[in-house]
Amino acid sequence: MKRFSIALAITLIISCLSSCHKVEYGGLTGKILHKKYNPALNINRIRDNEPEQVSDTLKIDLDEDGSHDLKLYFFYEQVCIEAANDWELSVTTDGYMNTLNWWNRDYRVLWGHLVPICVRHSVDEGYCYGWLDCYSTLGSEGQVDVIRFYFRETGYCTCPNYPLKWGEK
């Protein structure tokens, strides 16, 4: 009886966890793909007066289809987030991505600057939305300044046109 109770409890917990990420909107069903990076993924660039050098690059697969959807790299002292084909980036002030007025294929983040970054992916039925939790800092290593860009968390909803809010999991 004890084994049955434990097995039942585990089954209920697993089914609850899997149903927590399912969403429906406009007659379509999908799920919210959430990733938390611990430790945070990061790229670094030495801040100096030298010409642009090769620096770190980070590639992210938001929709878990095996392809790189975003590429993060330094352009001099700015982090550039570049979206792949059919992907776009924006920022939000109210947290809702489907109310944004402009979208671009790339976005530049200044160090010390943090904004809610949103993504959308063009699909046959409309757009799928996602979000990025990241920030940039200026630190020091010995005699040189280092710009560090940290990528902490992502969310992406596979249900087209679902009004995903920044930070929703």
pLDDT in tens, 22-59: 999 999 999 999 999 998 888 887 766 565 555 678 89
Q: Tell whether 17 is covered by a domain.
A: no
Number of domains in the chain: 1
**pLDDT at site 12:** 37
Helix (H, G, I), strand (E, B) or coil at 138: strand
Q: Model's pTM, two decimal places? A: 0.77
**pLDDT at site 98:** 63
Q: Tell whether 4 is covered by a domain.
A: no
User: What is the extent of the structural domain holding 75?
Assistant: 24-157
pLDDT in tens, 70-83: 998 887 777 888 99
Q: Tell whether 52 is covered by a domain.
A: yes
- C-alpha distances out from residue 82 to 87, 105, 157, Å: 9, 6, 20
pLDDT in tens, 102-127: 788 888 776 666 667 899 999 999 99
Q: C-alpha angle with apex 159: 33 to 84, nearest 5 degrees?
A: 70
